[in-house]
Chains A and B, each alone.
Chain A
């Protein structure tokens, strides 16, 4: 596949899948205010994915639309990192997953806004403002829950331990990353990784949480290898378009 198409689809898939996960909280949040906060995050992410799918469709040039790319591709076509597809669990687990992702996404978008690809740079610059707020929201909740009650501490620490193996993939380059880095389109993930680790260390310390010592090993999402969970998301997200092709709202 064209590396730029592969890359743009990955960014779109990351936003769509994580946005869809967050949207599952709509109407189920722990309190009304945080229910709305998570729905706002979901809407930001799904909005970002739309801009990216539109661009991907243009790069592909096969007449497919943003909706075709979101609703009519199969699991092995999706390029999102596995962290984004993992189930919500309890509120603490959702908050931890969001924090681990936001701590990557914010410096990543900051770097991508300097991309030589003007369209990606523009989308990144717009998304960066949203990501900056997301990181603020998720960091503060990690701190509140980590440095909260015995039970909230235990729950977010467990979530961190279980999500940790999936964090490495965020900043581990695959072939597409390497190709586009040399073309000045993709950011240097080593620099993003350093910013990620700095933020993680700072927030976990304030949250009185312990960073796992194991090296995060899970990978494959960028190349279409997913956990069992992605299929269930796609089944729910895509069934309407697949059952009634072309159905409109």
Chain B
């Protein structure tokens, strides 16, 4: 069976590529074209990235408490105490 690929699409308005799903393909070229056919049929995107799923390393759900809970009470890390000038875009 062909390997699994993760697909990332950048929309016309978007500044970053967002994960949209996965598909099977024999190589990168086929994966990009299949992504075009499967994930951009309704004008969703202007750019496609694909990466073989095996190259993605994920955090372990068992580590969630140690990884993420300590951030819960650090509200001062949010930059909500600044006035953002109107000229700054994409904030």
Which positions in A face B, CB cutoff 8 Å?
31-34, 36-37, 40, 136-137, 140, 144
- Do residues A137 and B33 form an inter-chain contact, with CB atoms below 8 A? yes
Asked if B34 is at the interface (CB within 8 A of a chain A CB), the reply is yes
In chain B, residues 1-40, which have Cβ atoms closer than 8 Å to a Cβ of chain A? 2, 23-26, 29-30, 33-34, 37-38
- Do residues A33 and B29 form an inter-chain contact, with CB atoms below 8 A? no
Residues of A within 8 A of B29 (CB): 140
Asked if B41 is at the interface (CB within 8 A of a chain A CB), the reply is yes
6 further contact pairs, Cβ within 8 A, besides A31-B24, A136-B33: A31-B2, A33-B23, A33-B34, A33-B38, A36-B41, A37-B37
- Do residues B33 and A37 form an inter-chain contact, with CB atoms below 8 A? yes
Q: How many Cβ-Cβ contacts under 8 Å join chain A to chain B?
A: 28
- Do residues A33 and B25 form an inter-chain contact, with CB atoms below 8 A? yes
- Do residues A140 and B37 form an inter-chain contact, with CB atoms below 8 A? no
Interface residue range, chain B: 10 to 19
How far is B81's CA from A222's CA once the two chains are assembled, in angstroms? 74
- Do residues A36 and B24 form an inter-chain contact, with CB atoms below 8 A? no
Identify which of A31, A40, A144 contacts B41 (C-beta below 8 A): A40
Tell me the smallest distance from the CB of A188 to a CB of chain B, in Å. Answer: 32
Identify which of A36, A140, A144 contacts B38 (C-beta below 8 A): A36
Residues of B within 8 A of A32 (CB): 23-24, 38
Tell me the smallest distance from the CB of A130 to a CB of chain B, in Å. Answer: 12
Residues of B within 8 A of A140 (CB): 29-30, 33
How far is B36's CA from A37's CA once the two chains are assembled, in angstroms? 9
Tell me the smallest distance from the CB of B57 to a CB of chain A, in Å. Answer: 25
